[in-house]
Amino acid sequence: MRRGAQVLAAAWLVATLVGCTKLPDPDSPGAKLYAERCNSCHRIYAPSLLKFEMWKYQVERMQGEIVRHGLPALTPDEVATILDYLKRHSG
């Protein structure tokens, strides 16, 4: 478990330093939704920075952060759209 936390911390450090200025497949519904919902609180990160399993974890974790900041949680359809997009473009 500790190793997983270390890998996660390292991945987010890289993501924080790198960020993302252009998403793959930018006109797709998934890219647009990902940019719209996630960029409202922080910069968006290149989907290739994380493996899909880590993206699933992050999307789930961010649901709590979204609500904590007084924003509406992602709907199940939004989660599915974002995860499908991240899965197609993950590292």
Q: Phi then psi for 66, rounded to 5 degrees?
A: -60, -50
**The two three-digit tokens of residue 21, written as one number:** 């200025």
Q: What is the radius of gyration, based on Cα positions, of the chain? A: 13
Domain extent listing, the chain: 2-89
CA distance 6 to 21: 26
Position of tokens 């699933």?
56
The 10s digit of each residue's pLDDT in 45-88 is 999 999 999 999 999 999 999 999 999 999 999 999 999 999 99
CA distance 30 to 78: 9
Instruction: Judge contact between 34 and 86, C-beta under 8 A.
Output: yes
The 10s digit of each residue's pLDDT in 20-37 is 568 999 999 999 999 999
* pTM of this structure: 0.76
